[in-house]
Amino acid sequence: MRIKTRFVLYITAWTLTLATLLGWLAHKQWTEYAQNRRAVGDVERAQLALKVFEMVSRERGPANAIMGAPLPAAATQAAALATARARSDTAIHALLINLQALDDDANRAAMINALLQLQDDLQTGRRKVNAVAAMPVAQRPGETIDDAVSTMISVATLASPLSARISAAAEQHGNTLNDLMVAARAAAELREQAGQLGSQFTRALIRQEPLTRQTVESIERIVGHIDIMRMLVNNRVARCCADNPNITGAVAQMNQHYFGDGQTLVNQVLVTWHADVVPQMTTGEFAARYVPTMNPILDVRDALLLQAARQAMAAQTEARDRLVWLALLTAMLALLLIVPLCIFGYRLLNALTTSADIIKALAAGRLDTPVPQPARSDEIGDVLSAIAVLRDNSRARQVLQVEREALIAELHEAATTDFLTGALNRRAFQSTAAITVNQTRRRAGVCSVALLDLDHFKQVNDTWGHDVGDAVIRAVSRHSRLKLRSSDLFARYGGEEFIFLLADANTENTRDILERIRLDIAQATLAVVDERPIRLTVSVGFAVLDQQCDTLEKLVLAADRHLYEAKQQGRNLVIGTSSEQPQ
């Protein structure tokens, strides 16, 4: 097959392979971006659903107050109820608009129907509240009050599973986002249960009568549910947000105000009733003292939702940036590699074909074969005009140059590289590491030196011979280098002992790197003899650059002492400058 044909096939195959790889990467990155973008929308939709849950729950406060107010009701109470109802309607409308834009037809229809049902039930509850408020206080039947309160509670009860269904989509995007959304939903449910607890007193406060047995049982049930929701919030916050001061601070405020002041008020009212004394306060007065204690619960929910939105948006931005970089990389490869390669290959192959035809003609003795005039004054033109004269000289110089470079490379490798493992030898390590330590000390930086020694290596040589021992040493060297960074130095220090210089590594970083190396070697099969795997452990001692160990020599001595301690303490350990490392 001609070179030109092979070149065309190679370029085609290479281009198709690269295009396939980039296409797969682009598809994968686009999928990730789409998922993160969907997560942002799911979080936003969950926020709107929880807002509906909050507003219909908060509306009960001014509704209970207006049902306990004398005729005519105070203007402030009427205005508060009108404001609460407007906020509920606004929240429902915003969620409805969002749901109508949802792509999933089945879920969209079901959730819109549930929201419309909630809206109808809310209107029914409002009519019942208005009917109670229109009666004189002394003529307001307890059953009618209970029915109005129950209807308003049922609206929130309907909002709870709707918000849970909407939030479920956001909860599927990763563990942390799941914890944030579950905790936010639990906080919203906690606020609702706290509101239901306050609503249980509405009838008794309006009619100035004792609590019914059914009401007492409802209060006990709600208190138990509140404790469950509080525990769920605390557990999820501890898992995902223990280091977030905004969230933990909001939880602390909730514990202080609601579980402190709010529950104290509820307990005081219950104690008064248990003493067969009806508290002398109106529903409006009770709401004015109790409702503000529930606001920190919503602060917890909002802090969680804010963190969830930030996390989803950050993930979307990161995925989008990776997608943009991939597109730029694709364009650069096409412009800087594929197109120039094709142009260069075409010119080079044409020149090569022409030169080959001329050389064949000259070799055949056709000395009158014309040499075409070069179209450009470049290297190809020079080759065409001087091919017969320079061919042999160029080949000779190329051979000499290759031999010289190979010899230099062999000499340098022999001087700096351990012949068995390919790692640095002791001399090369000491010269390079000393410079690194001195430079690190002058700039007040940090680095560390570690010595690694194979445990019971002599048994390998004694049992299976030195060839197997050499294979084990090479395997240990290979596993060690896999865990190191490009800035670290690694060398065979002698026999079965290796030395490391870890740049910019403090005690914690050093111990982490060395522990990973120790575990990797302990779990690896270093050699196989007669289908039997050979496994060994290593002991490691290290020292970190400080005022006591401020030179390479001192660091090596300190690391050697710690290596001896590791051996004495049972081997398979990493012992360093600070505390002991458990096995």
pLDDT per residue over 66-98, tens digit each?
888 888 878 888 899 999 999 999 999 998 998
If you ran DSSP here, which 8-state letter would residue 334 be given?
I
Q: Which residues neighbour 469 within 8 Å (Cβ) at sequence distance 6 or greater? A: 457, 460, 461, 496
As a whole number of angstroms, the distance between CA 425 and CA 406 comes to: 20
Token pair for 200: 């249980």
What is the predicted pLDDT for the residue at 354? 74
As a whole number of angstroms, the distance between CA 54 and CA 67 comes to: 21
Q: Which residue's entry shows tokens 């706290």?
A: 194
As a whole number of angstroms, the distance between CA 416 and CA 421 comes to: 12
What's the CATH number where 518 sits? Answer: 3.30.70.270
> 34 in a domain, yes or no?
no
Predicted model pTM:
0.52
Give the pLDDT band of residue 376 (cuts 50, 70, 90): low
Residues 295 and 159 in one domain: yes
Question: Last residue of a domain, which of 250, 274, 305?
Answer: 305
Query: What's the one-letter identity of residue 18?
Result: L
User: In this predicted model, what pLDDT tens digit does every residue of 111-162 receive, in sequence order?
Assistant: 889 889 989 999 999 999 999 888 888 888 888 988 988 898 888 878 788 7
> 237 in a domain, yes or no?
yes
Residues 200 and 64 in one domain: yes
Q: pLDDT higher for 372 or 409?
A: 372
- The pairing of beta strand 574-575 with beta strand 538-544: parallel
As a whole number of angstroms, the distance between CA 577 and CA 247 comes to: 38
Percent of the chain's residues with pLDDT above 70: 87
Any idea how long the chain is?
583
Give the pLDDT band of residue 399 (cuts 50, 70, 90): very low
Ranking 85-94, 193-202, 378-387, 511-520 by mean pLDDT, the lowest is 378-387
**Mean per-residue pLDDT for 355-380?**
71
> 314 in a domain, yes or no?
no
Question: Last residue of a domain, which of 242, 276, 305?
Answer: 305
Contact of 61 with 262, CB cutoff 8 Å: no
> 111 in a domain, yes or no?
yes
* Long-range contact pairs involving 250-254 (C-beta distance under 8 Å, separation at least 24): 250/296, 250/299, 250/300, 250/302, 250/303, 251/300, 253/296, 253/299, 253/300, 254/296, 254/297, 254/299, 254/300
Task: Quote the domain boundaries for residue 508.
Answer: 426-575
369 pLDDT more than 50? yes
Residues 299 and 433 in one domain: no
Ranking 115-124, 283-292, 317-326, 396-405 by mean pLDDT, the lowest is 396-405
Angle at 244 between CA 242 and CA 245, to 5 degrees: 110
> 350 in a domain, yes or no?
no
> 95 in a domain, yes or no?
yes
Question: Last residue of a domain, which of 256, 273, 305?
Answer: 305
**Mean per-residue pLDDT for 260-285?**
83
> 366 in a domain, yes or no?
no
Residues 295 and 431 in one domain: no
What is the predicted pLDDT for the residue at 377? 67
Residues 266 and 134 in one domain: yes
Quote helix, strand, coil % in the chain, to nearest 5.
75, 5, 20
* Structural domains in the chain (count): 2
Residues 119 and 268 in one domain: yes
Contact of 460 with 471, CB cutoff 8 Å: no
> 73 in a domain, yes or no?
yes
